[in-house]
Structure 1
Amino acid sequence: MTESDAHNQQHWDRQGWVREMVRQHQSPLIRYARSIVKDEHAARDIVQETFLSLCKQAPGDLAGHEVAWLFRVCHNNALNRLRKERRMSHNSEHMGALESPENATKAVENAQDNEAVVRLIDQLPSNQQKVIRLRFHSGLAYREISEATGLTVSNVGYLLHTALGKLRQQMQQLDA
């Protein structure tokens, strides 16, 4: 095999690897980024930036840690976006549903419920917010959350347990 053939094979392997990572992880990454920036288009941009960063990595360097790396880079990209824009956007996707009074009432109630939960999550300490989003928005397992955050698996479990307890208590207080 010539040096040129080896280079072409390496290039093809990397392309296939990146395509597979996109296929497997694009949707969960978009959900995760959207949970942070609260905007679908911004989330898609953030995930695109994440995969562009992946293209610069050698597959062997990330072997076995691809998921953690992707979520860590996505998280950092999302925080950078928030810092740069210094704005908290609210979803406007329910506006189209306001055509009839019944739909408007349901849309407003759903939006209020969602906003209340988001506000409660936003009041949690940042490490609890992160594990909540990784677990419930992105569907990561405790081990994957551990790899993405650098926390131990037992610490992830503790943070989730504590955060969910706080959220449950705060939601009961709101209902009272």
Structure 2
Amino acid sequence: MVNLQDQTDNELVERFIGGQEACLQILINRHKSRIYSYILMMVKQPALAEDVFQDTFIKVINNLKRGKYIENGKFPSWVMRISHNLIIDYYRKQKHMQMVSNDSIEYDLFNSSKFSDTNIEDKLVTDQILKDVASLVEYLPENQKEVVRLRHFMGLSFKEIAEETGVSINTALGRMRYAIINMRDMVEEQKISLTV
């Protein structure tokens, strides 16, 4: 009889996809502390962190069942990326739902350049810049790409990146430095404008 506790993350994922539901609970228990701590650090509210944690694993289950997990030995990073995206989605929704009262102000809040068409243009330009940067990241060597994603998309410290990737902090810093140099070179070669 196989002891599921001794299985690697990827073996447990395969067994879960194959129908062994208990494997997911082992994965959750194995990585719960780290993932929950990350979420709580980002949202700073225990009740919200619980909600995001649950939503994260609902999304993990759905993605696993749809075959959207690519086996790369980095299951915790994949889960943290999902939680990070859910946190961003939550804050985007909150930003759009903020209530503003115009009653107690002497001037009209809504007659402001903030709400003019140029801001829509700025947003489109900013979105394009982010897309351009994301596409540049794809051309980086795998080890540099990984450091950029962990640092800028998942918010990990260089110490955490070093632990996650199994390299020294200096190596992680060096990879980030080379990634930035390579991306600057690509921007110049392709004449991409990264300003609003």
Instruction: Give the TM interval when normalised to the shorter protein.
Output: 0.3 to 0.5
Greater fraction helix: 1
**Higher relative contact order at CA 8 Å, sep ≥6: structure 1 or structure 2?**
1
Task: Output the TM-score relative to the length of structure 1.
Answer: 0.47
